[in-house]
Amino acid sequence: MNNFTFHNPTELLFGKGMIKQLGDRVKKFGNSVLLVTGGGSVKRIGLYDEVIGILNENGIDIHEVSGVKPNPRIDKVREGVKICRENNVDLVLGVGGGSTIDTAKSIAAGVKFDGDPWEMFTMDGEPDKAIPVGAVLTLAATGTEMNGNAVISNLETNEKLAIHTPAVNPRFSILDPVYTCTVPEEHTVYGIVDIAAHVYEQYFSHTPGTPVQDRWAESILITLREESKKVLDNPEDYEARANIMLCGTMALNGLIAMGKETDWASHAIEHELSAFYDIPHGGGLAIIFPNWMKYVMDEGLDKFVQYAVRVFGVSTDDKTDREVALEGIEKTRQWFNEMGAPSRLADYNIGEEKLEIMAESAVSNKELGGYKKLTKDDVYQILKMSL
């Protein structure tokens, strides 16, 4: 195990009706809020009105940024920063899925950043200050509700980049699984793939001596598999939604990465796809991950064997390690397919045209990969396998 520091002060308020505690939590930080929301779903499920009602009851001034889209854009961040500065906002409250909360976090950092907000994403180093952030989550997926990450896209430059700073860890996050019961099947599936992908990025690692972190990761994957079946059979299964939501939060809050090197190459590759083609993040990951696995597995078959055996119950009888590993990867692809996730770039009408430029962009100015360091050609091969 490597040395590590773990510090995650986000307060989780988890369960049915926990929104009732919103007023109390917001008031800890002041009485002026920037409410950040996405499209229509928070209004459709009545959450928007409920939040406005609670904030009004508590005498809190409300400013707003709405219309945040998937693969959220830097324009909304700029808009929010301006409003916060002009109105001396105390807390940025993201109500929605990962895109909304990432926008809220980026605004909170942008308020304290001297320069255009996009520079926070392109500069060396990370912003280290932000006004407080709160979150009300409506989609189990990114884990942003309990970490310091935010991913923002700039369509002018075809870039999708992240900040990672404890300054934007939500001070509190309200997670009511009921809000996720009405998420359409497609987005439910993308969320589940995203959660699994976060686990993979941290699970496949060469750091020795991390048995309990590995088992925690496997715990999340096994639970996701079991609960994904239930939730696709019955979208309103509260317990299944709750379990998936908890898995999403715990998959990317530092728990399973304790003392481990991590990978994140597949995410970087997918970010290129989303930046160039604006496809759903979870869809891109479902395509890329099995191909990444196949491409890198020979760097350390043991971990892929462990994955196949423990997560999918693959038998090792009369098989080589390579056969067991391949069976685990095939079962991964099958799981994603059975849920209805895409398996080829062709499913999004993506052809060979931009593979080269995406591969170039994925490796530009950064080291890529942990399980296997990836060159531009490696990325190109993985994209090609994904056609």
Separation of alpha carbons 305 and 327, rounded Å: 9
Q: Distance of alpha carbon 379 from its chain centroid, rounded?
A: 21
Q: Which is nearer to a copy of itself, 15 or 235 (CB)?
A: 15
Count of other CB atoms within 10 angstroms of residue 339: 20
Beta bridge partners of 262: none
Residue 145 CB, shortest distance to a copy of itself, in Å, is 12
Residue 91 CB, shortest distance to a copy of itself, in Å, is 17
Spatial CB neighbours of 39, under 8 Å, sequence gap ≥ 6: 67, 68, 69
Beta bridge partners of 152: 161
Q: Which is nearer to a copy of itself, 10 or 188 (CB)?
A: 10
Q: Which is nearer to a copy of itself, 3 or 349 (CB)?
A: 3
The H-or-E segment that residue 151 falls in is strand 149-154
Q: Which is nearer to a copy of itself, 18 or 84 (CB)?
A: 18
First to last CA, the chain: 37
Which residue type does 84 have? C
Spatial CB neighbours of 349, under 8 Å, sequence gap ≥ 6: none
Residue 368 CB, shortest distance to a copy of itself, in Å, is 26
Residue 193 CB, shortest distance to a copy of itself, in Å, is 17
CA dihedral 138, 142, 147, 149 (to 10 degrees): -120
Q: Which is nearer to a copy of itself, 56 or 316 (CB)?
A: 316
Q: Which is nearer to a copy of itself, 82 or 230 (CB)?
A: 230
**Residues found near a copy of itself in the complex (CB under 8 A):** 1-18, 208-209, 211-212, 215-216, 218-220, 222-223, 226-227, 239, 242-243, 246-247, 250, 255, 258-259
Q: Which is nearer to a copy of itself, 245 or 268 (CB)?
A: 245
Residue 370 CB, shortest distance to a copy of itself, in Å, is 19
Residue 241 CB, shortest distance to a copy of itself, in Å, is 10
DSSP assignments along 56-69, one per residue? HHTT-EEEEE----
- DSSP letter at 45? T
Residue 208 CB, shortest distance to a copy of itself, in Å, is 7
